[in-house]
Amino acid sequence: MVYSHTEIMVVMGYGCHLTPVLKEYLDQAVAYAKSNPHSIIFCTGGFTNSKTAPGVCEAGLMADYLRQQGVCNYIIQDRDSRTTTENLRSLRQYADLRIESLERIVVFCDSCRSLKIRLIFHHLFGFWPEIFSFDITQKWQSKVIQYTFSTPLDLFGLYWPIVEKMEILVRRISITRK
């Protein structure tokens, strides 16, 4: 089925537990969605925590919360992706197949990942997304790791597929240990 919607609102996933910080992030997405009821919502994030949240995927958790808050937009769940690059590749594939007149993509994400998302998005789509960033990552140590290790690794993976494949493998292993 091809949709005539002109905007996709992407909500990047950050965990399989509805923490106060995640609720605050999602409440901002709820407000945006309610003021843009014709946007398609694309929730990203797979099953990333098999020990403390077995059977729960980030996309499903977020979609359920949006619905509980009264969001009526059409919601797509990308339940298979585990990395930022996989999330955005899945979005690209969806947009190419299902949207006939796409004009705008808005991405809700963690502030310390916004640069990485912006760069990967531009590489995959050829234009810059509109970013709404929120301070989800609380620990400064995690932010440092994100900026100095994760972002460069993801960007290298765009040009050297073996790096992305290794990252996905490591992520898959770490998910089974969480």
- Which sequence spans correspond to the domains of the chain? 7-177
Tens of pLDDT, residues 21-56: 999 999 999 999 999 999 999 999 887 776 777 788
Per-residue burial over 137-151, b = 16 or more CB atoms within 10 Å of its CB, e = otherwise: beeeeebeebeeebb
Mean pLDDT throughout 171-178? 62
Give the helix ranges, DSSP H, for the chain.
20-35, 58-68, 84-98, 114-125, 140-145, 151-159, 161-177
- From the number of C-beta atoms within 10 Å of its C-beta (0-12, 13-18, 19+), residue 168 rates as middle
Mean pLDDT throughout 160-169? 80
**What band does 100 get if pLDDT is binned at 50, 70 and 90?**
low
Q: What is the pLDDT of residue 52?
A: 73
How much is the mean pLDDT over the chain?
A: 88
Q: What is the pLDDT of residue 47?
A: 78
The yes-or-no verdict on residue 173 having pLDDT over 80 is: no
Share of the chain above pLDDT 90, in %: 56
Token pair for 157: 């993976």
Q: What is the pLDDT of residue 166?
A: 80
Mean pLDDT throughout 57-82? 94
Token pair for 77: 């769940």
What class does CATH assign to 7-177? alpha beta
The yes-or-no verdict on residue 98 having pLDDT over 90 is: no
Tens of pLDDT, residues 111-161: 999 999 999 999 999 999 999 999 999 899 999 998 998 898 889 888 888
- Under 8 Å between Cβ of 57 and 41: no
Q: Is the dihedral of CA 154, 66, 27, 10 positive or negative?
A: positive
Mean pLDDT throughout 157-169? 82
Q: What is the pLDDT of residue 91?
A: 94
What's the predicted TM-score (pTM) here?
0.87
The yes-or-no verdict on residue 178 having pLDDT over 60 is: no
